[in-house]
Amino acid sequence: MPLRIVYVSTLEQHVTEAELAALVDKAAAFNTSHGITGILAVEDRRVCQILEGPDAAVDALFASIKRDDRHSGIVELVRHGIDATTFDDWGMVRRGMLDIVVAAYAA
Ligand SMILES: Cc1cc2nc3c(=O)[nH]c(=O)nc-3n(C[C@H](O)[C@H](O)[C@H](O)COP(=O)(O)O)c2cc1C
């Protein structure tokens, strides 16, 4: 059964918009090759990300995301099994914070 995780965190001050864009590109490629999909919102350094995909793969990715020193204060808000992933097969894309809230309450 696919797993969905939603978490919030705070991006470190030194991370630039260009670095964030590069991070998302790299994340999209990695996620796609591991059957993971999701969305990421960053607003005033506050981060919210939804990850969906095979449970072992999502768990392993989230463990690595938690170790990433480009953000801190990581709080897992949601962790549950889902019947099917809700996003398209895009790996990872940035969306507005409101889109994340809407998506977080779906499924
Ligand atoms: C806010 C945030 C979100 C991230 N999301 C992803 C992601 O969805 N997929 C991914 O492969 N890496 C993501 N990363 C990067 C990972 O934390 C990590 O750098 C990547 O898995 C490579 O880990 P490694 O250097 O230990 O191999 C994210 C990093 C941050 C700070």
pLDDT at 89: 87
* Cβ count within 10 A of residue 93: 15
Higher pLDDT, residue 107 or 56: 56
Distance (Å) from CA 82 to ligand 1 centroid: 22
pLDDT band at 98; cut points 50, 70, 90: very high
Burial class (CB in 10 A: 0-12, 13-18, 19+), 89: exposed
Atom 21 of ligand 1: nearest residue by CA position: 64
| Residue 53 Cα distances to 25, 44, 71, 81, angstroms | 18, 28, 22, 10
Residues 29-64: tens digit of each pLDDT: 999 999 999 999 999 999 999 999 999 999 999 999
**Candidate of 16, 33, 64 to mutate for ligand 1, largest count of ligand atoms within 8 Å of Cβ:** 64
Kindly write down the DSSP assignment for every residue of 74-100, as one continuous string.
EEEEEEEE-SS--S-S-S-EE--HHHH
Q: What is the mean pLDDT of residues 83-99?
A: 93
Distance, CA of 4 to CA of 39 (rounded, Å): 11
Q: Which domains does the chain have, with CATH numbers?
A: 2-105 (3.30.70.100)
Question: Residues enclosing ligand 1, CB less than 6 A?
Answer: 23, 27, 30-31, 38, 40, 47, 49, 61, 64-65, 68, 70-71, 92
Q: Which residue has the higher pLDDT, 107 or 48?
A: 48
Residue located nearest, by CA, to atom 7 of ligand 1: 27
Count how many Cα atoms sit within 13 Å of the Cα of residue 32 in the half-sphere of its side chain: 12
Encode pLDDT of 56-88 as tens digits: 999 999 999 999 999 999 999 999 999 999 998
